[in-house]
């Protein structure tokens, strides 16, 4: 499964990167997160881990451990699902443009368990969920 999305945010790349990489902001833009707890000490960096609980609409809550597998401020952040029901990793690339930042997002991974039988329906639902997350991200940073 692979999902891509490109959008713009009217803020500089460093501000967008810092906001996305800060676990304290996660539930404010990924609104299906019910709880987020850092597993690592100190500031976010490559190898930093967070444990998050997510409850998408119409499903039961699940827990996953996420690691910052690539951390290159202000241009690239990749997260890897270390533990969780679906090993779908995400990569955000931040590029300066005249009006702020162009964000390119890619989610990819192998869908497991019962969700693999839903194939395109599951992918379409994830695509909508990521688009909604990114709308919240844009709104939060621009207001």
Which residue segments constitute the domains of the chain, with CATH numbers given?
Answer: 2-142 (3.30.530.20)
pLDDT of residue 115: 66
Residues 105-138 pLDDT 10s: 999 998 877 666 666 787 888 899 999 999 999 9
Residues 70-115 pLDDT 10s: 999 999 999 999 999 888 999 999 999 999 999 999 999 988 776 6
Query: Residue 133, by phi and psi: left (phi above 0), alpha (psi -120 to 50) or beta?
Result: alpha
Nearest-angstrom CA–CA distance, 111 and 127? 14
Decide: pTM greater than 0.85. Answer: yes
Render the burial of 62-78: b for 16+ CB within 10 Å, e for the rest: eebebbbbebeebeebb
Helix or strand (DSSP H, E) at 131: helix 120-142
């Amino acid at each position: 499964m692979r999902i891509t999305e490109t959008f713009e945010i009217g803020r500089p790349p460093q501000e967008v990167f810092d906001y996305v990489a800060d676990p304290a902001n996660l539930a404010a833009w990924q609104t299906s997160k019910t709880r987020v707890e850092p597993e690592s000490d100190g500031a976010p960096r490559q190898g930093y881990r967070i444990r998050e609980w997510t409850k998408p609409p119409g499903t039961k809550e699940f827990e996953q451990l996420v690691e910052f597998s690539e951390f290159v401020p202000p241009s690239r952040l990749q997260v890897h699902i270390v533990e969780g029901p679906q090993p779908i990793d995400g990569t955000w690339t931040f590029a300066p443009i005249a009006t702020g930042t162009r964000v390119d997002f890619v989610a990819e991974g192998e869908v497991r368990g019962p969700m693999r039988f839903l194939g395109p329906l599951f992918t379409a639902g994830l695509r909508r969920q990521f688009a909604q997350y990114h709308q919240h991200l844009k709104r939060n940073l621009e207001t």
